[in-house]
Structure 1
Amino acid sequence: MAEVKWIKITTDIFDDEKILLIESLPDSDSIIVIWFKLLCLAGKMNNSGVFTLNDSIVYTDEMLSTIFRRKETTVKMALDVFEGFGMIKRIDGAITIPNWGKHQTLDQLEKKREYQREYMREYREKQRQIADKSNCKTNSNVNVSSLDKDIDKDIYYMFTGDHERVENDAKKTAADLDQKKADFETIYAIYPKKVGKTRAFSLYCQWIKGRKINGEKIKLSNREIYLAVQHYVEQQEREQREQIYWKNFDTLMGQSLLDYVERGEVNE
């Protein structure tokens, strides 16, 4: 996942009760510097506040000491303080910052980027369609039959002023999105490693709509995706693999998902 260039820090951070308590400790300045370095590293990694290297190696005190250019004893002391105050949490040996995505709103940033990419793709497609249909008349008497069936509905509505149909289609699209979200949440609930939810949902929608893999369009149903995720979970549990070594959810929902779709389940 690409790094982000900013993290959110409130202006009253030094009025926070935990920071005030830290400032009363010996080597408080070093501890606070390490906290900010930890926040910056979490933003650079953009891994939902989980400190792992290549999804398989967890950051140790020694590794953080090297990265932060601080003594290992100081880093260990700082981490113990953070853990005691609930600022970090160790899960299966990995250091995590609880609710990182919620507090940093990185999901919203990712959504915005995804929306911009999709918007530009659709915009360029509309331009191509308009250019291809340049011989169509666009006066107030335009008729549906005068337009080819593949012309974007929005263009037709713009010509005819059929705002009611635009509104109805918008409601239908919103309802469809709500259903997709509900179906996705059912799948997300059975996967224990909660990393990469926003990108995973985007990939889920692509599978439902149909994705091109090696030149072939592959479309999966909600049930097929659910079973594929379930197969992966069962495989990891049979092998008694520690959760830290499982694929992040967005990684599993990528092309590797096809490895766990049973033969005959894929619909092209």
Structure 2
Amino acid sequence: MAEITWIKLKTDMFDDEKIKLIERMPEGDGILIIWVKLLAYAGKVNCSGYIMIAEDIPMNVEEMAIIFNRPLEKVRYAIQVLQRYRMIDVDENERVCISNWEKHQNIDGMEKVRLQTAERNRKYRERKKQQALQAPESSQNNEGNVSVTSRDGIDKELDIDKEIDKEIDKEQELLKEESASPSSVAVVNPFNFYAQNGFGLTMNDITREKIVGWCNDLSDELVIHAMQIAMERNSISWSYAEGILKKWHSKGVKSLKDVDALLAQFEAQRAQKNRSHGNQRTENIPEWFGKHQAESAATQQKANEPIDFEAERAKVLAKLGGA
């Protein structure tokens, strides 16, 4: 249903009692924005009103906060309010679904698309059948120029129908692949990346809050890139990835280009440091330092000479006799 690109919003929707009650709430405007975003997303994925990341992956509250670009606590509050007024339903698997989805769904548009697809398939089938029936029904061998029919007319028509069905299926599959947007097939977000790459089988509330916070402060892209770096360094843990994010935040990083620039700066500084260590260090020695070194060497040499005790004794006695 990739062709379905709009939903119905009634012009008197703001006259609804539930909408009026929500408008009077402190966060009323934010709740209504989230409500419209839920409607739009449900229409985009077209899963009978369910809010889904992919066909078999329901979107949880943390992922809504990222995709809707709203603080997590406000999304949680909005879900509680909308559920209380029965504008949405949350099943036992925590899948969020728009209540009375048929009120908002483009039923007429869906029917129109269905009829157009059926008519296109009918014309395609008729065209392929005519081409097959007009093709030569016999072939000539190289020796005898003898006509050989492969099967009778009824069997041939049945085989043509089977081949046409196969080609129609292939064509429709290609159309789905080409028309499906990335967000309608699968949304790569930090929560999916965390779960799919060994950072943890489960995620506690503290880690969820941190991931949402970093996505708001930096971006989903940078949070995922930090986890990728942690994987490359064989340090698959959220604490390691968060350390990278803290460093980027302190350096004013806002995008992957900033990360590349920071890395280039680090490499340049390291290369400069290696060059400076490679050069031999030479300094001018002061004159006084040379004299000090000579006196120290003479003193050390004299200290190392053997002592003549008799000569020293004679000097002492001569001094005493003179006194």
Larger of the two Rg values belongs to structure: 2
Higher-RCO chain (CA-CA 8 Å, sequence separation at least 6): 1
TM-score (norm 2): 0.38
Structure number with higher helix proportion? 2
- What TM-score results when the alignment is normalised by the length of structure 1? 0.45
